[in-house]
A = this chain, B = another copy of it.
């Protein structure tokens, strides 16, 4: 799979390919996403995008759309919440995440192949997996 670095241009074309409309709100939320170097919550995203409180629902729907076309990845936290980051399409990977500030380091280690094989052997299909490492980062200690 060819991996293309994300930018506004590329994302517009992703939207188009998927028959999703390029709207003002989506661009706005996208721009906000681009300003972060760590995964963020929907609320953080709305605030950074300088949208009114009521637009949180639009943020969620936008995230959903972006997840659908693979340019955003959700990262589950220990407490059940989820944070989101831009991802190059097809770039599956995992993370070290600070429980407190959500600073994230890429974890370049994935057992997808092995897990998939074992799962299939057990009769599972339609397989997905999570692997995240949580801790306290230096700054937060």
The distance in angstroms between the C-alpha atoms of A28 and B102, with both chains bound, is 39
Known: A111-B109, A118-B96. A124 touches B128 (CB 8 A): no
The distance in angstroms between the C-alpha atoms of A111 and B119, with both chains bound, is 17
Contact with B along A111-136 (1 / 0, CB 8 A): 10011001100111111111111111
Question: What is the interface residue range for chain A against chain B?
Answer: 20 to 34
Contact A105 B122 (CB under 8 A): yes
- Name the one of B125, B132, B135, B138 contacting A136, with C-beta atoms under 8 angstroms: B125
- Name the one of B111, B126, B129, B133 contacting A129, with C-beta atoms under 8 angstroms: B133
The distance in angstroms between the C-alpha atoms of A102 and B133, with both chains bound, is 23
Chain B nearest CB, measured from A138 CB (Å):
4
The distance in angstroms between the C-alpha atoms of A130 and B129, with both chains bound, is 10
The distance in angstroms between the C-alpha atoms of A78 and B76, with both chains bound, is 8
**Which residues of B are found within 8 Å of A134, using beta-carbon distances?**
127-130
Contact B131 A129 (CB under 8 A): yes
Chain B nearest CB, measured from A80 CB (Å):
5
A residues sitting closer than 8 Å to B (CB atoms) are 76, 78, 80-82, 96, 98-99, 105, 107, 109, 111, 114-115, 118-119, 122-138, 141
